[in-house]
Every structure is written in C-alpha cells, then in structure tokens.
C-alpha cells in the first residue's frame, strides 16, 4: 500500500518543511514513511533533518547522475530524501524525473510526503501537487494566506488531487476555532490541527533536528501528533501509484 501527499501552501515560510518532517515523524509510529524534499529550487529539508553534510541528494538523482537509493537516508524513524541547495544543482536537474523517483519509492513505503514548492508558476513547482493523491494545505490563519491556500486547492483539485486537510501553523490567537470553522467552509478537507507559534520550532530548526525529536513534549509537537492521528491513510496499490506517476502528464504551461 502507499499514498502520496503533497505538503503545500501558497507562500514560502508558512511551515511546509517543518510540517512535512513533523507529520512524517508522527506517522512513522504507524506507517513506513518516506519524506522527499520536492522543493528543489529552495530546498531546506536537509537543515531540518540533520542532513546538511550529505554527499548525494535529489539534485543528483534529478540530474541522472545517481540512483534514488543513494540519496535516501534513514533518520528519525523515516526514510528521508533531501535535496541540495546550490543553484547549479537546481539548474542541472530535470524536475520531470521526480515522477520516476516517486514511482521507485512507492514500491517500498506506505506514506510519501512531498515537501512542495510554494508557488505554482513552473513545471518544477506544480509537479508534486499535480501528481499526489492528496494535498495537505499549510496555512497561517490570515486572510492572504487563506486566499493563497484556496488557489492551491483550486489547482490541486483541477488535477484530481484531493485535499487531505488543513494545517493551521504559527497560530497565536485564541480565536482559531472560529477561524478554522469559517475557513473549512471553503475547503474540501477538514482541519487536521492548529499548530501554535512556538519558539521550540525555531530552536529545532537551528539545531538541525525535527521538532518532534528536539521538543517532543512541546504543545506544537503534540498538535502535529494529533494532525497525524486525524489523517487516515488510504492504501493505494503500490503498482498502480507507480504507474500513475510514471505516466503522469505535466502541464506545459501551469
Ligand atoms: P516553508 O518550508 O514553508 O518555507 P519552514 O518550515 O522552513 O517553512 O518554516 C519557516 C520558518 O518558520 C523556520 O524558521 C521555522 O523554524 C519557523 N516555524 C515553522 N513552524 C513554526 C511554528 N509553529 N512556530 C514558530 N516558528 C515556526
Ligand atoms: Mg521549505
């Protein structure tokens, strides 16, 4: 079985990477989880997972210079596929190869989380959202962020990618229940959790460790665990998912 999720949002800095790694760790208690840094232009998952020194990354795989298995690392109970951060690495990589990468990974894992690029204006940027089974939309509870999130939903659903749910992040105010209730009316998925604004999240990032490893008792970590509990993973046939990825048509002009 396998299900592929895109962790997406309209803008950068909302907490996609933090959320990808945290959800991955939380789901790893129940599933075999693989997280992939599919934000190949602004990769930073490696910094969240203690992988900043690794030799081989997704860039090498997308440049057809290394097989996928040389860019996978077992960390924090998950399989992690980090991406490099150099501009040359990005330039030399062919984003469409991500289809083959995910198809290969699908044979051997239950859940794939694709940390996705924020904007939807290039082939590299739309690929995860187009190809995933479902998208988790990460939102800060502000009008502009919610409006961006709606664009992500519109785009995703136009390619038959369902919405798994909303993850409110960096939540400061007490009124979040009311905001979530109103926001849910416009989205096709439930609210999975509201993650509080948390110094622990920033500290974890600075320490190069996932939040759930760095501060497992924090309120933010607890909120991510409840998000993972709210997510029922569907058990697609690995072969079907792999075939779908291999044959996916990527929009020429997103
Ligand atoms: P994105 O991948 O969407 O660009 P990141 O996950 O890299 O966003 O997060 C951006 C910054 O916000 C990082 O410094 C991260 O530590 C911080 N951050 C993420 N979630 C929280 C939170 N709940 N509270 C406080 N800071 C957070
Ligand atoms: Mg990121």
Tens-digit pLDDT profile for residues 49-64: 999 999 999 999 999 9
Residue 127: closest CA among 62, 216, 207: 62
Distances in Å between the Cα of 87 and the Cα atoms of 5, 83, 96, 121, 159 are 26, 12, 17, 18, 29
Task: Give the pLDDT band (50/70/90) at residue 123.
Answer: confident
Do the beta carbons of residue 113 and residue 80 sit within 8 Å? Answer: no
Q: For residue 141, what are its two tokens?
A: 């509870």
Q: Which pLDDT value is given to residue 117?
A: 93
Residue showing tokens 């204006």: 121
pTM for the whole structure: 0.96
Task: Give the pLDDT band (50/70/90) at residue 122.
Answer: confident
How many whole angstroms from 228 Cα to the centroid of ligand 2? 19
Between 121 and 6, residue with greater pLDDT:
6
> Which residues surround ligand 1 with Cβ inside 6 Å?
9, 12-18, 44, 169-170, 195, 197-198, 201-202, 205, 220
Q: Which pLDDT value is given to residue 254?
A: 65
Cα–Cα distance for residue pair 210/17, rounded to 1 Å: 10
Q: For residue 117, what are its two tokens?
A: 């690029």
CB atoms within 5 A of ion ligand 2 belong to 16-17, 44
Cα–Cα distance for residue pair 145/105, rounded to 1 Å: 32
Cα–Cα distance for residue pair 16/91, rounded to 1 Å: 23
> What's the pLDDT tens digit per position in 213-222?
999 999 999 9
Q: Which pLDDT value is given to residue 253?
A: 66
> What's the pLDDT tens digit per position in 93-106?
999 999 999 999 99
Ligand with the closest atom to the CA of 82:
2
């Amino acid at each position: 079985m396998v299900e592929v999720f895109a962790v997406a949002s309209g803008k950068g800095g909302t907490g996609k990477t933090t959320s990808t790694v945290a959800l991955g760790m939380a789901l790893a208690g129940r599933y075999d989880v693989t997280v992939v840094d599919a934000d190949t232009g602004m990769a930073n998952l490696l910094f969240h997972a203690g992988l900043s020194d690794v030799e081989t990354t997704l860039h090498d795989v997308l440049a057809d210079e290394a097989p996928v298995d040389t860019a996978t690392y077992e960390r924090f109970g998950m399989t992690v596929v980090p991406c490099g951060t150099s501009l040359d690495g990005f330039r030399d990589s062919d984003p469409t190869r991500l289809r083959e990468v995910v198809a290969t990974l699908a044979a051997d894992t239950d859940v794939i989380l694709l940390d996705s690029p924020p904007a939807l204006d290039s082939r590299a940027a739309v690929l995860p959202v187009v190809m995933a089974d479902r998208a988790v939309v990460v939102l800060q509870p502000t009008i502009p962020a919610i409006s961006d999130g709606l664009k992500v939903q519109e785009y995703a659903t136009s390619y038959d990618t369902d919405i798994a749910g909303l993850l409110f992040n960096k939540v400061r105010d007490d009124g979040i229940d009311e905001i979530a209730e109103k926001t849910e009316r416009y989205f096709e998925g439930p609210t999975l959790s509201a993650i509080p604004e948390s110094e622990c999240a920033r500290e974890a990032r600075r320490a190069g460790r996932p939040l759930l490893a760095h501060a497992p008792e924090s309120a933010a970590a607890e909120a991510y665990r409840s998000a993972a509990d709210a997510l029922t993973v569907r058990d697609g046939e690995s072969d079907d998912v792999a075939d779908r990825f291999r044959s996916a048509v990527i929009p020429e002009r997103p």
